[in-house]
Amino acid sequence: MTLNTLVADSLALFQEQSAHARLILLHPRSRYRSVLVARLMSTQENVILYHSLGADDINLQSFITGMTHDLSNQHPTFGRHINILPPSQLNQLDLVVERFARDLEEVSDKPFYFILDEYDRGDSADDIQLFIDRLVARLPEHCKIIINSRTLPRLPWVSMIAQKRAVLLEDRQLIQSDFYEIETDGKLKMEVFALGPGHVLLNGQPMEAWEGHLPRLLFFFALDRPIVTRSEICQAFWPELDMEQAVNVFHVTKRRLHKALDMDVLVHDEGYYRVNPDMAIHYDVMDFVTALMEGRNEDGKNRAMAWQRAIDLYRGPFLQGFTDRWILERRVDFRAGYVEALYEMAQMRLAEDRPEHALGLFQRALAEDGSREEIHRELMKLYTRLGRRSEAAALYQRLIDEMGKAGKDISADTVELYKSIMN
């Protein structure tokens, strides 16, 4: 097979998958990732913004300054929102994300790609990773970020995949499982369950000797990304402490974690922490997202089984009962995946002419996320089909109340559906 054919196949997969995600990672294992970037940039119909990270990208301020300069050379008006911030405010993450997103909104009315090349040069900067994480959630609908990197970026890929915000591509292959290459054949057998209150089985027995909740949460945090830094952990767990105090508390917590499992759970390597590869871990979150990926495969033969597996694996909100910011953010992402599984399974039950089964699934989906108008519409249609028109009308009125409290208007599609039902 020729190189042109291989790259053409990779490009076809990229175009197919990028239609459904905001962030596309050209996986470090990809042999043709740089060729693919060059092909995208040479295609005239693509609107492209391009920035290659350099040696100076050691923190958010230098990253934003250099990138804004590059992008203004490609799009003359770029930066008019971000550039009005004084240097002293370039460390205010949420403000920087908001201004940068506004600049992206004004690049083009057409779909465009924002390529971040040589991304691994910013690996050591926690604030750059967090900026990209937050920016993905704020991107305009017609903007896609492409990351080309020699290492797997320290981003919460699994939760972003769960919410259909990201995909990982390896040349002609969509990565659908083993996203972080977590060891499953190590010496110590461990089953980890984070969907629900959060518990761990060690060699089939429940883990109880955690010495408080912090060591347990530290373990779950380490599973959240491919690798983590000490400063990243301190910022997530003890943001109110200065760094020296936070580091001291971290080391105490880490020792308690290692004592609980009687081994070094977190190993330190070149400035990063990762879960000890001697631990054979089966993690329900990974299984859940793998099932979502299998369900999304429109050519798959076992989509119904995949959606049902995702539903069964979701035993409750991510780390239910805890309110740390990083936990709440992940909880939203995994709940979105669960609602998607319920919705898609309900559509399959409708196709099988099993409306009562579909009704229960739609109701469960709506109980998880009452803001989804398409679920309201499906339920209204189904109530009407089952001769329960009054319940369809009541559901519509409830939606009006909820949207009004949120300061939002109901879409024209929902209004038209209601009128047709009442007529």
Looking at the fold, whether 169 and 194 belong to one and the same domain comes out as: no
In this structure, the chain runs to a length of: 423
Q: Examine residue 167 and state whether it is found in any structural domain, yes or no.
A: yes
- Are residues 210 and 169 located together in one domain of the fold? no
- Residue 82 falls inside a structural domain: yes
List, for residues 82-122, the tens digit of each pLDDT value.
Answer: 999 998 898 899 999 999 999 999 999 899 999 999 999 99
Separation between Cα atoms, residue 196 and residue 193, nearest integer Å = 7
- Residue 414 amino acid letter: T
Helix axes 126-138, 93-105, angle to 10 degrees: 50
Q: How far apart are CA 377 and CA 354, in angstroms?
A: 18
Whether residue 290 is contained in a domain is answered as: no
Last residue of a domain, one of 141, 174, 207: 174
Residues 231 and 164 in one domain: no
Q: Are residues 32 and 136 in the same domain?
A: yes
pLDDT at 3: 74
Q: Does residue 405 register a pLDDT over 90?
A: no
- CATH code, 7: 3.40.50
* Amino acid letter, residue 131: F
One domain for residues 35 and 146: yes
Q: 23 is in which domain, residue-wise?
A: 3-174
Give the model's pLDDT for residue 192.
Answer: 95
Is residue 132 very low, low, confident or very high in pLDDT (cuts 50, 70, 90)?
A: very high
The share of the chain scoring above pLDDT 70, in percent, equals: 99
User: Could you give the CA distance from residue 290 to residue 288 in angstroms, rounded to a whole number?
Assistant: 5
CATH number of the domain bearing residue 309: 1.25.40.10
Predicted local confidence at residue 416, as pLDDT: 94
Q: What domain count does the chain have?
A: 3
Q: Residue 273 maps to which CATH number?
A: 1.10.10.10
Assigned domain for 239 exists:
yes
Last residue of a domain, one of 152, 174, 196: 174
Q: Residue 213: is its pLDDT beyond 70?
A: yes
* Same domain? 156 vs 268: no
Residues 82 and 230 in one domain: no
Are both 164 and 272 inside the same structural domain?
A: no
Whether residues 170 and 192 share a domain: the answer is no
> Are 27 and 135 part of one and the same domain?
yes
Section 252-277 average pLDDT: 92
Residue 234 domain flag: yes
Do 230 and 317 fall within a single domain?
no
Q: Same structural domain for residues 358 and 310?
A: yes
Task: Tell me whether residue 288 is in a domain.
Answer: no
b/e for 310-335, b at 16 or more Cβ within 10 A? Answer: bbebbebbbbeebeeebbebbbebbb
